[in-house]
Amino acid sequence: MNKLKYLPQIDSLRAISVIGVIIYHLDINFFETKIFSGGYVGVDIFFLISGYLITGILYDEFLEKGRISLPNFYYRRIRRIIPAILFLLFIVLILSFFFTLPQDLIKISEISISNLFFLSNIYFHYNHIFYWGDSLEINPLLHTWSLSIEEQYYFIFPIVFIIFLKIDFIKKNILFFLTASFLFFFLLSNYLSFNHYNFSFYMLPSRVFEFLLGSILVIFKINNKLKFNLKYVHSFHGLIIIILSYIFFNNYTPTPSFWTLIPLLGGAIIIIDEKKNKFTHILQNKYIIFIGLISYSLYLWHYPIITFLEYFYIKKNFF
């Protein structure tokens, strides 16, 4: 068994993901065609990365110490995530207080409160605030739905994973149970996306398979169950798959669904490709890695900046 090591391509993949999301939110058109109309799937790739890293951290600790410390895990998550999002909410509320209409301030305050408990995705769904269309342009905290999903997963998954590892039969067949869970949630996601789309888009159950794909990859890697010497496939192909998804997906592509497996496949190829060649050297240069390292801050701040600038420029109301 191998201890999980730092992979620079994961930070590169973070950069690719956040760039796709930012360009999508900028709503740039070229000859009446939106550039990166599918850039929103960068969030799905973030979920893949999170599943890979979180499972790797937990499984590494279990293999090394024979146990997993939940308090330490949650403390690390809180220290990384909470201060940044609290500062974001503070600034957004200050700007909203001075520059927006009262009804807008009330809505933003409600969303901010939901973010304190990582429930903004639930708030958006049950208040019929849709991600697509005009709502994408006029809600400075709409992007926080994905942060809520991540935190909900971070809270639930470690507990379930520890239970799995405490049962000998499941522990010995952990890959089987993770794969079975992946298939179950993948099928559930497809059903929900084609029958209850807004619920599927915002709610954790539809996104679990994306995290679990990352979990499966990292368990394979740590246990040496799969050799990642892909002879004819490498990071370049993974990047091409992701970029094609950014280009050809659009607001009418059911997400998450079986279509989401396409960009996830691209992300998985980049994660598992450890071959040294000219392209991986380019992909892992210090500038791309730097963007990946600050991707969380870029994701947090890009969308409020875009929406407030549009608010001031066009002088239209939020919501």
Name residue 154's beta-bridge partners: none
CA distance 88 to 95: 11
CA 117 to chain centre: 18
Task: Give the helix ranges, DSSP H, for 27-69.
Answer: 42-65
pLDDT digits (tens, 9 = 90+) for 78-95: 999 999 999 999 999 999
pLDDT for res 137: 56
- The values of phi and psi at residue 34, to 5°, are -70, 130
Q: What are the backbone dihedrals phi and psi of residue 69, each rounded to the nearest 5 degrees, phi first?
A: -90, 105
pLDDT in tens, the chain (319 residues): 556 677 889 999 999 999 999 999 999 998 888 999 999 999 999 999 999 999 999 999 999 999 999 999 999 999 999 999 999 999 999 999 998 888 889 999 999 999 999 999 999 999 988 887 655 556 899 999 999 999 999 999 999 999 999 999 999 999 999 999 999 999 999 999 999 999 999 999 999 999 999 999 999 988 876 555 566 778 899 999 999 999 999 999 999 999 999 999 999 999 988 777 677 777 888 999 999 999 999 999 999 999 998 877 765 555 5
Determine the pLDDT at residue 283. 82
Q: What's the one-letter identity of residue 123? A: Y
Cβ-proximal residues to 62 (8 Å cutoff; 6+ apart), any chain? 68, 165
On the 0-12 / 13-18 / 19+ scale of CB atoms within 10 A, 77 is middle
Measured CA to CA, the distance from residue 198 to residue 84 in angstroms comes to 28
What letter does residue 260 receive in the DSSP assignment? G
**16, 45 Cβ separation under 8 angstroms:** yes
Closest CA to 265 of 296, 244, 292, 293: 244
Task: Quickly tell me which residue has 């301030």 as its tokens.
Answer: 105
> Residue 201 burial (CB < 10 Å; 0-12/13-18/19+)?
buried
Q: Residue 31: left (phi > 0), alpha (psi -120 to 50), or beta?
A: left
The single-letter code of the amino acid at 2 is: N
Would you list the domain boundaries of the chain? 8-314
CA angle, residues 208, 130, 265, in degrees to nearest 5: 35
Helix, strand or coil, per DSSP, at residue 230: coil
